[in-house]
Amino acid sequence: MTKIVTTPLTLEKVQDLKSGDRVLLNGTIYTGRDAAHKRLFEMIQRGEKLPFDLNGQVIYYVGPCPAKPGTVIGSAGPTTSGRMDPYTPALLQNGLKGMIGKGLRSQAVVDAIIKYKCVYFAAIGGAGALLAESIKEAEVLAFPDLGPEAIYKLRVENFPVTVIIDSEGNNLYTVGKERYRQH
């Protein structure tokens, strides 16, 4: 079933999301991938103030294409989430509630998702043109020197995602594969 959810995420909203749900996200989300994660993680370790308050927020693992003149953003599909794993538990501990990416997560991330009651969504990898249509506003918020890896603040409308790992640790990648496996 499809659920419509508005950010920021609360504990109640997160607990209503179950692995396998299709969700249309609305509101503000933030982008961040490899280099931005490394910087956020190092800032947390040094006790510095982050460029945005993580509480209840959602980070989208994406490095978009440049916007053509007259458009909000270029193609903007998810990147592989696993590369963010070393940094993710610290972000979840500091209030981050949701992540959008694609692909497998480490056990440490799954444990942190359960511990801090968070949710991991996947957007369709390789569907950057389709996903860009749901992004209505985009502005660079931090680390402009990183180019496509800068942190953008996005406003999304009905941004289509699927719940992969819910706050209880149920995992669509495991369950879905087992259901259709013939080996």
Partner 1 sequence: MREIHANQIISTVERLCIESNINLPDDVKNALDDALKMESSPLGQEILKDIIKNAEIAKEKNIPICQDTGFAVVFLKLGQDVRITGGNLVDAINEGVRRGYINGYLRKSIVTDPFLTRKNTKDNTPAIIHTEIVPGDKINIILAPKGGGSENMSALRMLSPADGVEGIKRFVLETVDKAGSNPCPPIVVGIGVGGTIEVATLIAKKALLRPLGQHHPQPEVADLERELLAEINKLGIGPQGFGGSTTALAVHIETFPAHIASLPVAINIQCHVARHMEAEI
Q: Which residues contact 41 (CB under 8 A, 6 or more apart)?
A: 86, 87, 90, 91
State which residue, 111 or 133, has the beta carbon closest to partner 1: 133
DSSP letter assigned to residue 7: S
**Interface with partner 1 (CB under 8 A), residue from 9, 14, 59, 62:** 62
**Interface with partner 1 (CB under 8 A), residue from 8, 130, 143, 170:** 130
**What string of H, E and C letters represents the secondary structure of 105-171?**
CCHHHHHHHHHCCCEEEECCCCCHHHHHCCEEEEEEEECHHHHHHCEEEEEEEEEEEEEEECCCCCE
State which residue, 60 or 116, has the beta carbon closest to partner 1: 60
Rule CB under 8 A: say whether 86 interacts with partner 1: no
We find the least distance from the C-beta atom of residue 84 to partner 1, in angstroms, to be: 13
Rule CB under 8 A: say whether 76 interacts with partner 1: yes
Which helix (DSSP H) or strand (DSSP E) does residue 2 occupy?
Answer: strand 2-6
Rounded to an integer, what distance in angstroms lies between the CA atom of residue 112 and that of residue 35? 21
Rule CB under 8 A: say whether 68 interacts with partner 1: yes
DSSP letter assigned to residue 68: P
Rounded to an integer, what distance in angstroms lies between the CA atom of residue 97 and that of residue 59? 9
State which residue, 37 or 102, has the beta carbon closest to partner 1: 102
Cis status of the peptide bond prior to 64, with omega within 30 of 0: no
Q: Which residues contact 85 (CB under 8 A, 6 or more apart)?
A: 105, 106, 108, 109
Given 21, 30, 37, 63, which residue is catalytic?
Answer: 37
Rule CB under 8 A: say whether 144 interacts with partner 1: no
* Interface characters, 102-121, with partner 1 (x: CB under 8 A): xxx-----------------
Rule CB under 8 A: say whether 173 interacts with partner 1: yes
Please indicate whether residue 183 is annotated as part of the active site. Answer: no
> Which residues sit at the interface with partner 1, rule CB under 8 A?
20, 22, 35, 62-68, 74-77, 79-80, 82, 102-104, 122, 124-133, 146-149, 160, 162, 172-173, 175-183
Catalytic residues: 37
